[in-house]
Every structure is written in structure tokens, then in C-alpha cells.
């Protein structure tokens, strides 16, 4: 991980891509999205991890918060909730430090980081952070769902309407999507009802 | 699993209810325990989907970085092999080393702009946050004005002094940047001194740069910058470099 910070790697840093272009690449998905993630890592990872470590974070915690922060940012970009009012760097830093604090509940030791800022509801990331327990629980809950089901539910959760989902996933009509969504959601609700311990993780 | 409410709640989550139905929904939510429980299950299902999406994306980010790190490592090993071959013709390669140890090259390798860690996402930004936003949007001349204004009203604020120095570097006002950064104290002091050293290097004032690096090392206030300073000092004092320059 640390070798990404080394001057040797920085020498070969990819050319600068604008924030607007990055959002486009994220929404294209597949390889374009991977390139965007790579660029975000090249541009922001060292700074964000360095900053968190300055606040007493361990390298592992900083790395974890960074990945989760970038993931949350990408999902926000896909949902269209990142409106470009601030730069990606500012936005991402804000998410990562919030997640790190929420996840590791560290005391704030730096005057730059005011408690008030963290208490403000910003809706930049989910209230629940991804711990190992939550991750395993989610994997278990989704076990019975087929990939197509997960795709439909994922797009629905991002507020795409049935017509848009039908177009994206090549379904013949929005009604087919609606039925599929309701069926998949029913299965997921059943899993949650059958596993109250896992459901309780999702506070 | 299916109850009398299921379709009704599904339509709520699809934003398909009429105003009258919405009122009915709110009423049931207040009064009917079974309804509340079922709505709660829908909410948790939605949350699970969102979290799973983030969790999968997190894995993707991690795997992209791991691949990059591995390819950097193998790339590095590849370079080592090439370097070994090059050593066989070391005399011919002297020019190559000369390039590697040029002051400007060392500066380029070591310099990365300081990042922004202060701004938040709210509309009611403070003067400092507004200045930081200008810095972050790379409007450095406007950032200089904004930080100078803060500096004039609150000269003890070290953050603004530090970022004023950074903006001056970015705007190419190197001498003023050195002067400003040299005055930074507190938490930002080691980092400010690091940028002083780099700017001195950029200005080809190697002796001053070495002195600043030595200062960072002897003060030993921030390990990260001590390591950086030691590394750069080693390169500046490298025998190869002395051979060529």
C-alpha cells in the first residue's frame, strides 16, 4: 500500500482528469469506472490516509475508511446526489473522515476537526458502516437472491424508476421489472424476518 | 409474508401513492403496530440493498488498489533487473544518473501539493472554509487574498498561514512562500518546513534546502516528515550525485 506514496509511483501518475469527466466515467460503469477509481486512488488516497493517520488512525483503519469512503462517493455519484458544488477531493475527504470517526469512534485530537462538523447530518454516507459482521450478514441475507434480482433491487434502491431499470437491464416492460422487484424484495424481507439478529445489525 | 398492507407499502416505496393515500399511510404508521412492523422490514430491506451495494463497491476499490500495488511491485522488480544490466555499462550510464539527481528532478519527485482537509459540505461556510474552497478549486490568486485577509484579522491562525504559503507556492511566488511558511508554528510546523525545503530546492538553493531538512530531522516533531527529509537529504548527498555535480 505504502509504495503508492513513493516518488517513483508518483512520477508515473496518470494525467489529470476533471471531476466532470470522472463522474461520467463512473456512470459508464465497467472499465471506465475502474479507471476512474484508479485515478481517484492516485490523486487522493495518500492525502486522505496521511491525514487520518495524523489523527491517530492506524494504517489499516485509514485504508478501510478510504475504501468505504470512495465506495460511498461512487454510489452517490451513480445516484446523482453528488452535484459538483465542491471538488471531489473535498467531498471525498469529508466522507472518509466521517466514516473513520463513526467506525472507529476515536477521540478527536486535532483542532482542525471540529466536533460540530461531524454531528451535522450530511447524508453523504449510510448511517451503518461496513464492519466485518455487517458485511458477512449482508452476504448471508443476499445468498438466496439471484444476480438479476440483486441488479434490479440495486437500481431500485438508487431511485431509478421501473422504465429506466427495464432499459438498463434489457427487460421487455416496466411491469416485468415491477413484478421482479416485488418478488426479490419479498425474498429479502423474508430473510430479514427469519434472521432478526442480522436485521438488528441494520440500525 | 404477504399481508393486507404489502401492496400498499410497496406503492409507498415506489412513490406511487396519491395524497389521500399518503395521509392514510401516515395514519396507519402512527396507529397500527403490524403496519409499523412491516414498514420497518421494508426499510431494513432497502438499507440492506444499499449497504450491499457499498460493500461490493468497497471490495472493488480495494481490489483495484491491490492490483495496482502488485503491478507497481513487479514493475519495480523489472526495473531492478534493467538497472543491473545498466550497471554493466555504468560509465556510459553516468549521464542517466546525472538526470536522476538533478535538483529539479529531486524537487519534482518530492513535491505534491498540500491537500484540503478543512472544508465541509454545508452552505454556511466559514471564512476559512471559503478560502480553502478557493485553494481547492486551484484559484490560487483569490486564495492568497482570502488567506491574507484571515491572516490580517487573526495572525495567530497557523492553518491560514500554512495554506497562504501553499497558495504562494502554487502561484509561483516562491520567496514570499518561504517567508510565510517559515513563520508557521504548532501542528503545521514540520509540514511547513518541508515545503520550505522543497521551495528552496526548486530555487536551486541547495545549501538552504539541506539546512531546512536538517532542521526537520533534528526537531523530530513529525515522523512522517522526518522520514521524507532523511530520504531527500540522502539523495542530495548521494555519492553518485557528488560525482556528477
**CB-CB neighbors (< 8 A) of B118 in chain A:** 112
- A178 and A85 share a domain? no
Residue recorded with cell 453528488? A82
CA distance B38 to B40: 5
Cβ–Cβ of A135/B55 closer than 8 Å? yes
Residues 6+ apart with CB under 8 A from B145: none
Whether A146 and A178 share a structural domain:
yes
**Residue A35 · residue A22 · CB < 8 Å:** no
A44 vs B: CB within 8 A: yes
Q: Which of A177-186, B83-92, B150-159, B214-223 has the highest mean pLDDT?
A: A177-186
- Tell me if A3 is assigned to some domain: no
Sorting pLDDT into bands at 50, 70 and 90, what band is B116? Answer: low
Percent of chain A exceeding pLDDT 90 equals 45
In this prediction, residue B103 carries a pLDDT of 76
Residue B238 — left, alpha, or beta (φ > 0 → left; ψ -120 to 50 → alpha)? Answer: beta
If you average pLDDT over residues A159-184, what whole number do you get? 92
Q: Using CA atoms in the order A149, A155, A159, A165, what is the torsion angle rounded to 10 degrees?
A: -90
Q: Residue A6 pLDDT more than 70? A: no
Tell whether A18 and A111 lie within a shared domain: yes
Q: Which residues of A touch B139 (CB under 8 A)?
A: none
- B122 vs A contacts (CB less than 8 Å): 120, 122
The 8-class DSSP code of residue A56 comes to T
Are A61 and A152 in the same domain? no
> Does A149 share its domain with A75?
no
User: Of the segments A56-70, A95-109, A120-134, B111-125, which one has the largest average pLDDT value?
Assistant: A56-70
Of A74, A182, A190, nearest to B57 by CB-CB distance is: A74
Residue A107's pLDDT band (cuts 50, 70, 90): very low
Could you tell me if B235 and B106 are in contact, meaning their C-beta atoms sit under 8 angstroms apart? yes
CA–CA dist B33, A25 (Å, integer): 46
Cα pseudo-dihedral B129, B131, B136, B137, rounded to 10 = 120
Residue of chain B whose alpha carbon sits nearest to that of A187: B1
- Please tell me the predicted confidence (pLDDT) of residue B117: 55
pLDDT reading at A101 higher than 80: yes
Residue A1 domain-assigned (yes or no): no
**Region B209-224: what's the mean pLDDT?**
86
Residues of chain A with C-beta less than 8 angstroms from the C-beta of B57 = 70-71, 74-75
Grid coordinates of B161 = 498561514
Residue B69, Cα to own-chain centre: how many angstroms? Answer: 18
**pLDDT at position A165:** 94
Chain B residues lying within 8 Å of A156, measured CB to CB? 49
Please tell me the number of Cα atoms within 13 Å of B130 on its side-chain side.
12
- The pLDDT score that the predictor gives to residue B90 is 62
Chain-chain contact of A157 with B65 (C-beta, under 8 angstroms): no
Same domain, A31 and A96: yes
Minimal Cα–Cα distance from A104 to chain B, Å? 17
Mean pLDDT computed over every residue of chain A: 82
ipTM: 0.84
Q: Which residue has the cell 395514519?
A: B27
Q: What is the DSSP letter of A15?
A: P
Nearest to B113 by CA among B133, B130, B145, B136: B136
pLDDT of res. A9: 40
Q: What is the 3-state secondary structure (H, E, C) of A138-199?
A: HHHHCCCCCHHHHHHHHHHHCCCCHHHHHHHHCCCCHHHHHHHHHHHHHHHHHHHHHCHHHH
| Domain presence at residue A110 | yes
Contact A162, A177 (CB under 8 A): yes
Confidence label for A105 from pLDDT (cuts 50, 70 and 90): low
Binning pLDDT at 50, 70 and 90, where does residue B239 land? confident
Please state at what angle helix B189-202 crosses helix B206-219, rounded to 10 degrees: 160
Show the cell assigned to B202: 526548486
Interface of A with B in 127-166 (CB under 8 A): 128, 130, 134-135, 138-139, 141-142, 150, 153-154, 156-158, 162
Q: What angle do CA B136, B142, B146 make, to 5 degrees?
A: 90
A7 belongs to a structural domain: no
**Which of A32-41, A142-151, B63-72, B181-190 is predicted most confidently?**
A32-41
Chain A contacts of B58, Cβ < 8 Å? 67-68, 70-71, 130
Region B58-77 average pLDDT: 82
- B119-163: per-residue pLDDT in tens? 555 555 678 888 888 888 888 899 999 999 998 888 888 888 989
Question: A119, A146, A162: which is the final residue of a domain?
Answer: A119
Q: What is the mean pLDDT of residues B15-40?
A: 94
* Least confident piece of the model among B33-42, B119-128, B219-228: B119-128
Whether A2 is in a domain gets the answer no
In chain B, the percentage of residues whose pLDDT exceeds 90 is: 38
- Residue A195 forms part of a structural domain: yes
Q: Which of A93, A119, A145 finishes a domain?
A: A119
Highest mean pLDDT, choosing among A24-33, A99-108, B105-114: A24-33
Q: To the nearest whole percent, how much of chain A has pLDDT over 70?
A: 81
Residue A104 sits in the same domain as residue A50: yes
Question: pLDDT tens digits, residue range A9-31?
Answer: 443 444 678 889 999 999 998 89
How many whole angstroms separate alpha carbon B29 and alpha carbon B12? 12
Query: Which residues of chain B make contact with A97, given a CB cutoff of 8 A?
Result: 117
Host domain of residue A157: 132-201
CA distance B46 to B219: 53
Instruction: Say which residue, B117 or B190, is predicted with more confidence.
Output: B190
Contact, A134 vs B51, CB < 8 A? yes
| Residue (of A52, A91, A87, A51) closest to A75 by Cα position | A91
Domain count, chain A: 2
Task: Please report, for the domain that includes residue A52, its CATH number.
Answer: 1.10.1740
pLDDT score recorded for residue A10: 41
Asked if residue A124 belongs to a domain, the reply is no
What integer is the mean pLDDT of A142-158? 91
Backbone torsion region of residue B230, taken as left when φ is above 0, otherwise alpha when ψ lies between -120 and 50, otherwise beta: alpha
Comparing CB atoms, the residue among A135, A162, A199 nearest residue B44 is A199
For residues A111 and A19, state if they share a domain: yes
Most confident by average pLDDT, B68-77, B96-105, B221-230: B221-230
Residues A161 and A72 in one domain: no
**Closest CA of chain B from A21, distance in Å:** 16
Dig out the grid coordinates for A51 from the structure. 491525514
B136–A87 C-beta distance less than 8 A: yes
Distances from the Cα of A139 to the Cα of A127, A132, A135, angstroms: 19, 11, 6
Domain boundary among the residues A119, A152, A185 is at A119
Q: How far apart are alpha carbons A47 and A32 in whole angstroms?
A: 23
Confidence of residue B102 (pLDDT cuts 50, 70, 90): confident
CB contact under 8 A, B64 and A41: yes
For residue A47, being part of any structural domain is answered with yes
Amino acid at each position: 500500500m505504502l509504495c503508492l506514496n513513493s516518488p517513483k509511483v508518483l512520477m508515473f501518475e496518470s494525467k489529470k482528469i476533471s471531476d466532470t469527466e470522472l463522474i461520467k466515467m463512473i456512470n459508464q460503469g465497467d472499465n471506465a469506472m475502474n479507471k476512474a477509481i484508479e485515478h481517484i486512488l492516485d490523486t487522493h488516497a495518500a492525502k486522505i490516509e496521511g491525514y487520518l493517520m495524523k489523527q491517530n488512525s492506524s494504517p489499516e483503519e485509514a485504508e478501510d475508511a478510504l475504501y468505504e469512503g470512495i465506495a460511498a462517493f461512487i454510489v452517490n455519484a451513480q445516484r446523482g446526489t453528488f452535484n459538483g458544488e465542491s471538488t471531489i477531493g473535498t467531498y471525498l475527504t469529508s466522507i472518509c473522515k466521517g466514516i473513520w470517526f463513526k467506525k472507529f469512534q476515536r477521540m478527536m485530537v486535532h483542532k482542525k476537526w471540529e466536533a460540530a462538523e461531524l454531528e451535522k447530518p450530511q447524508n453523504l454516507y449510510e448511517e451503518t458502516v461496513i464492519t466485518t459482521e455487517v458485511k458477512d450478514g449482508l452476504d448471508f441475507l443476499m445468498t438466496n437472491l439471484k444476480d438479476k434480482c440483486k441488479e434490479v433491487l440495486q437500481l431500485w434502491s438508487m431511485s431509478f424508476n421501473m422504465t429506466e431499470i427495464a432499459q438498463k437491464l434489457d427487460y421487455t416492460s416496466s411491469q416485468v421489472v415491477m413484478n421482479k422487484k416485488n418478488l426479490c424484495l419479498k425474498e429479502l424481507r423474508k430473510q430479514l424476518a427469519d434472521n432478526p439478529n442480522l436485521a438488528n445489525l441494520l440500525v | 409474508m404477504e399481508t393486507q398492507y404489502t401492496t400498499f407499502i410497496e406503492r409507498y416505496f415506489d412513490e406511487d401513492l396519491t395524497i389521500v393515500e399518503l395521509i392514510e399511510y401516515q395514519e396507519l404508521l402512527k396507529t397500527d403496530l403490524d403496519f409499523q412492523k412491516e414498514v420497518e422490514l421494508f426499510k431494513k430491506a432497502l438499507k440492506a440493498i444499499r449497504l450491499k451495494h457499498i460493500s461490493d463497491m468497497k471490495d472493488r476499490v480495494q481490489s483495484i488498489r491491490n492490483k495496482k500495488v502488485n503491478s507497481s511491485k513487479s514493475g519495480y522488480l523489472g526495473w531492478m533487473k534493467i538497472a543491473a544490466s545498466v550497471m554493466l555499462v555504468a560509465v556510459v550510464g553516468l549521464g542517466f544518473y546525472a538526470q536522476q539527481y538533478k535538483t529539479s528532478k529531486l524537487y519534482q519527485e518530492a513535491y505534491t501539493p498540500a491537500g484540503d482537509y478543512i472544508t465541509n459540505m454545508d452552505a454556511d461556510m466559514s471564512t476559512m472554509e471559503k478560502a480553502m474552497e478557493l485553494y481547492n478549486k486551484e484559484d490560487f490568486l483569490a486564495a492568497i487574498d482570502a488567506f491574507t485577509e484571515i491572516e490580517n484579522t487573526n495572525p495567530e491562525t497557523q492553518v491560514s498561514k500554512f495554506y497562504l504559503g501553499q497558495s504562494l507556492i502554487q502561484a509561483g511566488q516562491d520567496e514570499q512562500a518561504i517567508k510565510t511558511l517559515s513563520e508557521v508554528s504548532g501542528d503545521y510546523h514540520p509540514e511547513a518546513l518541508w515545503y520550505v525545503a522543497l521551495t528552496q530546492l526548486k530555487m536551486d538553493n541547495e545549501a538552504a534546502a539541506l539546512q531546512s531538512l536538517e532542521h526537520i530531522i533534528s526537531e523530530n516533531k513529525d515522523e512522517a516528515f522526518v522520514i521524507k527529509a532523511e530520504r531527500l537529504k540522502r539523495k542530495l548527498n548521494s555519492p553518485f550525485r557528488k560525482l556528477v555535480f
